[in-house]
Amino acid sequence: MSQTVLYAYPGACSRVTLTALEEAGAPYLDRWIDIRADQQYSPDYIAQNRKAKVPALSVDGKTLTENPAILFYLHQSLPDAGLLPRSGDLFDDARGLSDLAWCASMLHPMVRQIRNPKKWTKGDVSGIAEDGLEKLNKEASFVEKTLSKSTWWYGEQWSIVDVYLYWVFSTAAKGAFNMEDYPALAAHAERVRARPSFQRALARERAAVTDNKLNIDASKL
């Protein structure tokens, strides 16, 4: 029987993949990699994922890394889950992958600049967080325009991109990003959190904090 294992950390970007698995109702095991304790560099984990990051998804012993690739794989292998729009037009449907790549390669690094500027330089950190904040605010204004006219990123249809956008902006809001400047984004965040698959993912993260004695305030997840 096929076995799927998600390597994750509570509150990290692996939460997007975790929510995708919950949305799909697919059976999977979770393994929690304590990235605050540098467990991502342990020989056991490096053997799974030489990049030393979460998420990673192992299926029958083979490992896939990078959120967009994992989410696209889940979208293709679990078509009933509705993780991304599917119109049948190859060009239009590539937009889902494009938006996942945007979240991972453009927005996520801005969040890192804001929250963890030391990871960007071996020298002076001045200006790194400010630069990230300026860039993220520009992206937030763009997202705000769309969300002020629709329930979800793709109109009336929920998708995993909504969860990714939520993760980006809510994580940045734990730093200097002010979600209150963006009322549609803030309302969208409430809708994302209310979705049952998100709540199940959150419950799984909270259980992981307790079971693995992780140094995280579970009430802030």
Which residue ranges make up the site for ligand GSH (CB under 6 A)? 12-13, 35, 40, 52-55, 66-67, 104
Q: How far apart are CA 113 and CA 120, in angstroms?
A: 7
Q: What are the beta bridge partners of residue 157?
A: 154
The smaller minimum CB distance to ligand GSH, of residues 11 and 22, is found at 11
Is the separation of the CB atoms in 131 and 113 below 8 Å? yes
The smaller minimum CB distance to ligand GSH, of residues 6 and 13, is found at 13
- Contacts of residue 177, Cβ cutoff 8 Å, sequence gap at least 6: 114, 133, 136, 137, 140, 169
Q: Which of 91, 79, 67 is nearest to 168 (CA)?
A: 67
Q: How far apart are CA 150 and CA 162, in angstroms?
A: 12
Residue 10 C-beta: closest distance to ligand GSH, Å: 11
Q: How far apart are CA 182 and CA 165, in angstroms?
A: 13
Residue 56 C-beta: closest distance to ligand GSH, Å: 8
The smaller minimum CB distance to ligand GSH, of residues 26 and 101, is found at 101
Residue 209 C-beta: closest distance to ligand GSH, Å: 16
Residue 195 C-beta: closest distance to ligand GSH, Å: 21
Residue 104 C-beta: closest distance to ligand GSH, Å: 4
The smaller minimum CB distance to ligand GSH, of residues 53 and 188, is found at 53
Residue nearest to ligand GSH (CB): 53
Residue 205 C-beta: closest distance to ligand GSH, Å: 13
The smaller minimum CB distance to ligand GSH, of residues 115 and 157, is found at 115
Mind spelling out the 3-state secondary structure of 56-79? EEEECCEEEECHHHHHHHHHHHCH
Q: How far apart are CA 11 and CA 108, in angstroms?
A: 13
The smaller minimum CB distance to ligand GSH, of residues 116 and 146, is found at 116
